[in-house]
Structure 1
Amino acid sequence: MTLVAFATGLSLVLILGMIHHVGVLTIVRVAPNFRASGHAPIMITFTCLLILHSFEILSFALVLAALLEINGFGDLGGTFSGTWEGLIYFSGMSFVTLGFSDIKALGPIRLVAMFFSLGGFMVLTWSATLLYSICSKIWQQDS
């Protein structure tokens, strides 16, 4: 089951990368022209990235719920109460803080959570780079 969990985690990060790539391409097309006056492109990009990351976190919570139903794949312990709130919280904490939370992954599912933390780090830095590049262009035009 360990190898299956490893492969599952790796596959989920690859899917996350594809989803994020499409999301970023969409954001770049949706954001107003960078030559536009004001800071609308920055705020629109920020808002769209927030929505994209929220979607990614919710998607992982759904995947977690499905994986927890597989016998022998592992469980969530600590303060996990079996609710959607707990799944979303664990998903988000794995995504943004490398998994430091009061909910603990137990068994092979730990590998999936580890990969989601890696994926979260990768797409968050990708998003930060996009936002920084847009801010730089706008701020250069304003000076």
Structure 2
Amino acid sequence: MNDDKGLSTTTLNREARFATDTQQVEYQHAKRSRFSMLKVFLINSAVIAFAVVIHYEFLYQFTMVMPKLRIRHRFRILLGVFAALTAHAIEIWIFATAYYYMDKAADWGHLRGDYDGSLLSSAYFSFTAFTTLGLGDITPSGNLRYLVGLESLTGFVLITWTASFLYLEMTRYWDRE
């Protein structure tokens, strides 16, 4: 049977079915994409939360211990700087571990360029991202890009927090010595 344009009913049914199949594929892709973005958001948030909690705990514990130390204030500040550097290094390694495993996963994207897939290369990349140095010799692709941007922001905030903390600790005792 033909309609006024010369198309058979079979052809029209096939085209209608194709449109329905295409819509179904697009719907499934959109559904997976929403789930993927939710997964990216949740995992990135967990990595950042872990780094921030570690930083908070380092600063809090140091605030509790610092007044009890029976050493000159200048040495307390030096200990504070070393503790802060240790906290930052741990936070950087947390991000590095995330990059290492995400690079090996199928849906996260990859680190490209001068990257050999090792944990040490991931740590190097994390150090450049955390400190906002960003040399560009290793570049992220895919969903890894979001964590890299968030690590730079997190690193900037945590480094600033550390600087403020150490400044306040220094000014507390400057006039006494």
Work out whether 1:57 is the aligned partner of 2:97: no
Q: Distance in 2 between matches of 1:128 and 1:137?
A: 14
What's the % identity of the aligned pairs? Answer: 27
Residue pair 2:100, 2:117 contacting (<8 A) in 1 also: no
Structure 1 stretches of 4+ with a deviation exceeding 3 A read 32-38, 98-101
Work out whether 1:23 is the aligned partner of 2:63: no
Residue pair 2:112, 2:140 contacting (<8 A) in 1 also: yes
Shift of residue 32, structure 1, vs aligned partner: 4.6
Work out whether 1:68 is the aligned partner of 2:68: no
Q: Which residue of 1 aligns with 2:113?
A: 78
Deviations 1:5-61 (A, max 9, x none): 233223322222112111111122233548964411110100111111111111211
Q: Distance in 2 between matches of 1:109 and 1:43?
A: 36
Tell me how large the CA RMSD over aligned residues is: 2.1
Task: Return 24-33 or 51-60, whichever deviates more.
Answer: 24-33
Please, which runs of 5 or more residues in structure 2 have no aligned partner? 1-35
Which residue of 145, 149, 154 maps to 1:119?
A: 154
Which structure: larger Rg?
2
TM-score scaled by length of structure 2: 0.72
- Higher RCO structure (Cα 8 Å, ≥6 apart): 1
Corresponding residue SS for 1:39:
helix
Q: Distance in 1 between matches of 2:172 and 2:71?
A: 11
Residue pair 1:41, 1:134 contacting (<8 A) in 2 also: no
Residue pair 1:6, 1:112 contacting (<8 A) in 2 also: no
Work out whether 1:14 is the aligned partner of 2:49: yes
Q: Which residue of 2 aligns with 1:107?
A: 142
Q: Distance in 1 between matches of 2:176 and 2:62?
A: 21
Please, which runs of 5 or more residues in structure 1 have no aligned partner? none
